[in-house]
Amino acid sequence: MSNDVMIYANDLSKSFGSFRALDKINFEVSRGEIVGFLGPNGAGKSTTMRILTCFISPTGGTARVNGHDVFDEPLKVRESLGYLPQRAPLYLEMSVLEYLRFAADLRHLDADTFRKRAKSVVEVCGLAQVLGKEIRYLSHGYRQRVGLAQALIHDPPILILDEPTSDLDPNEKAEFLDYLKQIGQERTVMLSTTSPRSRRRARGPSSSRAAASWPTGRSTRSARRAGASATSSPSRSRPRPRPTAGAAPRRRRARSRTRSASLPA
């Protein structure tokens, strides 16, 4: 395997009990590529990404990230990547800055590094205007940008983004992709999306062949699914409400919605 292969999957399989969600998929993503991972709902995109990010283990095959095996070196794998799950794990009662600090603490960044990285991700994700706002008051577009910022806080060489634009309106989607284009100039990015064609007829093996490149304007290609289960899951085809972390929202006075916040000097 060449040094330029940043994500590698060989005969990767995953069964949940007797149900085979992934059946020997094979692909490689090289350094500097932005790759779209396409397939109908239920095809196994999230399952693949959860294996690559060490949230679940495969039942067969091999996966390596930045040269590290997901079984043997899960910590090295996690250090190498930033992950934005399909439902961004946001704490809605935190302000954007508090949340970024929290994400940095999880990654054991020291105060100096946090200062530098926070400055950079706030700029690259366009968050300066909302740093002091509680996440619960942000639009979906901004929330996704916050999710992207937490994935970038430790400056990983690889980003794995699970349907990052699926709940966004067309303007928010375009904006998000612009930010991603800039971020992808220095990183390897794998992002999943459900192709419109397969959404309409997400059943049977033929629909599972749908693959198209992500319109980013630089080196892009699609990771074609090879042999993954083509079962559709109608319940997943509609956007679900965003998760709300913690207690039910309390009624708040308007002035408490925005706290002034600035990056530490």
Ligand X SMILES: Nc1ncnc2c1ncn2[C@@H]1O[C@H](COP(=O)(O)OP(=O)(O)O)[C@@H](O)[C@H]1O
Task: Enumerate binding residues for ligand X (CB under 6 A).
Answer: 16, 19, 21, 39, 41-47, 231, 233, 236
Residue with the CB atom nearest Mg ion in the bound state? 46
- Residue 193 as a binder of Mg ion (CB under 5 A): the answer is no
Tell me the closest approach of the beta carbon of residue 164 to ligand X, in angstroms: 13
The values of phi and psi at residue 221, to 5°, are -160, 175
Would you give the binding string for Mg ion spanning residues 195-234, x where CB under 5 A is met? ----------------------------------------
Q: How far is the CB of 82 from ligand X (least distance, A)?
A: 19
Half-sphere exposure of residue 168, counting CA atoms within 13 Å on the CB side? 20
The secondary structure of 120-153, three-state, reads HHHHHCCCHHHCCEEHHHCCHHHHHHHHHHHHHC
Q: Which partner from the list ligand X, Mg ion, none does 44 bind, CB cut-off 5 to 8 Å by kind?
A: ligand X
Q: In this structure, which amino acid lies at residue 257?
A: R
Provide the 10 A C-beta neighbour count for residue 157. Answer: 16
CA distance 109 to 154: 7
Nearer Cβ to Mg ion, position 13 or 46? 46
Smallest gap from residue 60 Cβ to ligand X (A): 15
User: Residue type for 88, please?
Assistant: A
Residue 167 and residue 47: Cα distance in Å, rounded?
19
| 116: its two tokens | 């530098």
**Applying CB under 5 A, which of residues 46, 53, 193, 208 lies at the interface with Mg ion?**
46
Torsion sign (Cα): 150, 154, 159, 160: negative
Q: Which of these, 2, 22, 4, 5, lies nearest to 13 by C-alpha position?
A: 22
Nearest to ligand X of 134, 163 (CB atom): 163
Q: How far is the CB of 85 from ligand X (least distance, A)?
A: 10
By CB under 5 A, the count of residues binding Mg ion is 2
- Which residue, 19 or 171, has its beta carbon nearer to ligand X? 19
Q: Which of 41, 150 has the CB closer to ligand X? A: 41
For binding to Mg ion (CB under 5 A), which residues are involved? 45-46
